[in-house]
């Protein structure tokens, strides 16, 4: 099965409303000053300020509207047939690898995006994409605040009218294609006489296990997390997903490192940021793929906010070559 997701930039309508309200407040506040102090000169100055601000805002808003229309146009061309996405008409495209980084930076929390398309030199006119033949060399990490990273095989569309649009493929593995190994299959944490443990084993496309907490204090909590870390230049992105929590009874958990169905992201090179991908998928956090980075299972026993014990095990993933049945 293939799920096609259109990744578009949002907030265009909201931005227009906010802009109108903001400018109305500015004009209302400055009108007495301009009229009383400078007369005609004040009106001219107000008009110049209004025009300059409007130019930059309208230009950006119109660009996003055009980009969203291009994404919709490409999405409307796609028909899903099993593992194949077929185009209603042939499109010109370059095959390659898409990479996006989206992080919050600065004192005022500005969202910064970097993107790159590495082409393989394969430029052609395509009528379909057989997603079952796409590699599993991808990684998608999305944090709760929509910071994230994606690197995936994809296509840069150069067809007139669709220029700048892109397609990224996150393929679901075939049975037996992924292999996972654990450094430790049992994790232990203890605070005084309070004791917790997790037993873990590998499963198809991930791991599963159980939590056990031995305690006499109802306030104690035992939690297990799936974490992923990837280095980004001089920094790193850390994504954590809580899998289970218990205060006394046994709890089972599982973690899947690949999607259960192939995800095809359709977007634009300028706006398919991790932030917009998170909006389109409507799920956070997300940890898909094992192409780069490191995956960990973390066990925590919390007796109080300042008293927490932890234990870890690393997940090693590898991809096996599997034969595909042909008709």
pTM of the full predicted structure? 0.84
Q: How confident is the model at residue 234 (pLDDT cuts 50, 70, 90)?
A: confident
Rounded to whole angstroms, the Cα distance separating 287 from 138 reads 11
Q: What would the two tokens of residue 276 be? A: 């917009």
Cα 192 to Cα 23, 212, 216, 306, 308: the distances in Å are: 62, 16, 11, 15, 12
Cis peptide before 285 (omega within 30 of 0): yes
In this prediction, residue 290 carries a pLDDT of: 81
Give, rounded to a whole angstrom, the gap between the first and last alpha carbons of the chain: 18
Q: What would the two tokens of residue 191 be? A: 């605070």
Quote the mean pLDDT of the chain: 86
CB under 8 Å to 327, separation ≥6 — which residues? Answer: none
Statement: residue 258 has pLDDT above 80:
yes
Whether 12 contacts 65, CB under 8 Å: yes
Residue 46 vs residue 250, higher pLDDT: 250
In this prediction, residue 57 carries a pLDDT of: 61
Which run of H or of E encompasses 274?
Answer: helix 274-281
Per-residue pLDDT of 143-173, as tens digits, reads 999 999 999 999 999 999 999 999 999 999 9
In this prediction, residue 30 carries a pLDDT of: 56
Whether 124 contacts 41, CB under 8 Å: no
Q: Dihedral (C-alpha) 9, 11, 13, 19: value to the nearest 10 degrees? A: -120
Give the number of C-alpha atoms closer than 13 A to the C-alpha of residue 316, restricted to the C-beta side.
5
In this prediction, residue 325 carries a pLDDT of: 45
Q: What would the two tokens of residue 302 be? A: 């919390």
Rounded to whole angstroms, the Cα distance separating 249 from 242 reads 17
In this prediction, residue 63 carries a pLDDT of: 81
Q: What share of the chain is helix, strand, coil (3-state, %, to 5)?
A: 25, 50, 25
Rounded to an integer, the average pLDDT of 20-44 is 57
Per-residue pLDDT of 60-108, as tens digits, reads 778 888 999 999 999 999 999 999 999 999 999 999 999 999 999 887 7
In this prediction, residue 122 carries a pLDDT of: 76
Per-residue pLDDT of 243-255, as tens digits, reads 999 988 899 999 9
DSSP for residue 143: -
Place of tokens 């991809």: 319
Residue-by-residue DSSP string for 145-182: TS-EEEEEEEEEE-STTSTTEEEEEEPPPPTT-EEEEE
DSSP, collapsed to helix, strand or coil, labels residue 108 as: coil
Rounded to whole angstroms, the Cα distance separating 263 from 281 reads 10
Residue 4 vs residue 118, higher pLDDT: 4
DSSP, collapsed to helix, strand or coil, labels residue 69 as: helix
In this prediction, residue 326 carries a pLDDT of: 39
Measured on CA atoms in the order 85, 90, 96, 101, is the torsion positive or negative?
negative
Strands 2-6, 262-268: pairing is parallel
């Amino acid at each position: 099965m293939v799920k096609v997701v259109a990744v578009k930039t949002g907030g265009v309508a909201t931005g227009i409303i906010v802009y109108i309200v903001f400018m109305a407040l500015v004009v209302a506040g400055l009108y007495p000053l301009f009229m009383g102090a400078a007369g005609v000169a004040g009106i001219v100055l107000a008009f110049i300020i209004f025009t300059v601000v409007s130019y930059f805002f309208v230009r950006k808003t119109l660009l996003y509207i055009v980009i969203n229309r291009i994404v919709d146009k490409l999405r409307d061309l796609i028909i899903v047939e099993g593992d194949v996405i077929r185009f209603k008409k042939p499109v010109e495209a370059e095959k390659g690898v898409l990479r996006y980084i989206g992080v919050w930076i600065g004192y005022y929390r500005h969202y910064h995006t970097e993107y790159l398309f590495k082409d393989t030199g394969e430029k052609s006119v395509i009528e379909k994409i057989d997603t079952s033949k796409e590699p599993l060399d991808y990684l998608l990490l999305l944090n709760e605040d929509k910071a994230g990273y994606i690197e995936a095989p994809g296509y840069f569309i150069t067809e007139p009218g669709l220029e700048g649009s892109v397609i990224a493929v996150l393929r679901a593995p075939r049975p037996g294609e992924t292999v996972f190994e654990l450094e430790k299959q049992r994790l232990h944490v203890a605070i005084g006489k309070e004791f917790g443990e997790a037993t873990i084993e590998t499963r198809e496309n991930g791991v599963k296990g159980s939590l056990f907490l031995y305690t006499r204090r109802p306030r104690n909590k035992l939690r297990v997390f799936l974490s992923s870390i990837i280095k980004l230049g001089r920094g790193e992105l850390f994504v954590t997903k809580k899998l289970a929590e218990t205060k006394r009874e046994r709890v089972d958990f599982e973690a899947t490192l690949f999607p259960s169905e192939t995800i095809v992201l359709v977007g634009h090179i300028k706006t398919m940021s991790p932030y917009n991908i998170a909006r389109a998928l409507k799920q956070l956090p997300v940890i898909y793929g094992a192409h780069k980075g490191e995956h960990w299972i973390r066990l925590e026993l919390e007796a109080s906010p300042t008293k927490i014990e932890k234990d870890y095990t690393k997940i090693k993933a590898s991809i096996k070559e599997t034969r595909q049945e042909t008709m």
